[in-house]
Amino acid sequence: MKESYIPQLSNKLRESFNYIVENFDVVLNDGLYLFSNNPYNLIFQDESILKR
């Protein structure tokens, strides 16, 4: 995830809530950015939308 998206999204995300996310890509986790054991990474675009 680009560093520029982290503050932008972290201000909107709250634990225990459900969200609808639009305009993103799902790719296989190649191990370079291993934040969890999930086999996939979400790649957010400039046009990504986050709704609660």
**CA dihedral for 49, 24, 21, 17, sign (positive or negative):** negative
Write down the domain spans for the chain.
5-51
Contact by Cβ (8 Å): 8, 22? no
The pLDDT score that the predictor gives to residue 34 is 64
Question: Per-residue pLDDT tens for 1-52?
Answer: 445 555 667 777 888 999 998 999 998 887 776 667 788 888 888 888 888 8
- Please tell me the total number of residues recorded for the chain in this structure: 52
DSSP string of 4-28?
THHHHHHTT--TT---EEEEEEEEE
pLDDT at residue 18 in the model: 94
Gap between the Cα atoms of 44 and 7, Å rounded: 13
Q: What pLDDT does 26 receive?
A: 92
Q: Which pLDDT does position 25 carry in this prediction?
A: 92
| pLDDT for position 5 | 56
